Amino acid sequence: MPMPQVPFDDRGLAYGDGVFETVLLRAGVPVLWDYHYARLLLGCQRLNIPLPSREQLVATWQSPPNAELEILKLILTRGSGGRGYATPDNSQPRLLSRRTPFVVNADRWHEGVNIRICQLRLGHQPLLAGIKHLNRLENVLARQEWNDPAIAEGLLGDADGWLVEATSMNVFWQQAGALFTPPLSQCGVAGTLRAALLDHGVVQEAAIALTAIHQVDRLWVANSVQGVWPVNKLLSETGVVLQSWNPAGHDRLQVVGHELLGYSPTSR
């Protein structure tokens, strides 16, 4: 299938005026679809873009699967518009999709990952917080801070120093036996796996300063495609190890998270 294109005057290109979703397909069936749909709806409400019909959305995954696991990426833009920021009266939203085969890296489930703390601080914008909009330069710049392949992710704090997320995953920690994830009212993307874990009562929201992150008992990064990665080592900006965690042992976050995603329970 040829790759979809958008014209020069598409507002998704011009202004990042749209939203996207990255959905795991298992045997052609979207995983956590209700959560993706809910986030898409929220994004459309915030940006005032008409939501495509369920039929249009379902059509994006109706062809036979090419692999057991695939990634379905959806991009929804406001459509074409003239010069200027004003929302055109007659714009037709543009829904684009692309499916690519996917192989999950299960080693990272078992062995854990090393991550770092990014220097970039996410700006506050409550009108855009949580939704998966197309204005992602902060994530791009944060991800440019390192290219060591031994570093799997980077933690992002906000302008006030609160932990928010990782560059492409949400973050979770354990303290005093309970599991937490940061609130995302000012910035960050509210991942679908995070939403499902909150709904299932596995985790709860709590604020933690980046400067206090070394006090937690365990740390994970996770999203709805890669699953749950235990963090072995968290590196500071200067490469100094702040703390290391041992990912071995019972790991409720990963067990429930992988159940939600349909991944086999990890055996250790």
Question: Exactly one of 21, 70, 153, 165 is catalytic; which is it?
Answer: 165
14 part of the interface to a second copy, by CB under 8 A? yes
Among 42, 128, 198, 255, binds a second copy (CB under 8 A): 128
Closer by beta carbon to a second copy, 20 or else 229: 20
Residues 145-164 that bind a second copy (CB under 8 A): 147, 159
Alpha-carbon span 43 to 97, nearest angstrom: 17
143 part of the interface to a second copy, by CB under 8 A? yes
**235, 241 Cβ separation under 8 angstroms:** yes
Q: Which residue reads 């709805």 in tokens?
A: 224
Catalytic status, residue 192 = no
Contacts with a second copy, 85-114, as mask; x by CB under 8 A: xxx--------x-x-x--------------
Closer by beta carbon to a second copy, 140 or else 212: 140
Closer by beta carbon to a second copy, 20 or else 173: 20
Judged by DSSP in three states, 163 sits in strand
75 part of the interface to a second copy, by CB under 8 A? yes
Nearest residue to 166 (alpha-carbon basis) of 145, 197, 196, 135: 145
Alpha-carbon span 127 to 178, nearest angstrom: 30
Structure tokens at 61: 């995954």
Residues 188-227 that bind a second copy (CB under 8 A): none
Judged by DSSP in three states, 176 sits in coil
Closer by beta carbon to a second copy, 77 or else 170: 77
Phi and psi, residue 187, nearest 5°: -170, 175
Centroid of chain to Cα 196: 13
**216, 208 Cβ separation under 8 angstroms:** yes
Among 60, 91, 168, 174, binds a second copy (CB under 8 A): 168
Among 38, 67, 71, 206, binds a second copy (CB under 8 A): 71
Residues with active-site annotation: 22, 132, 165
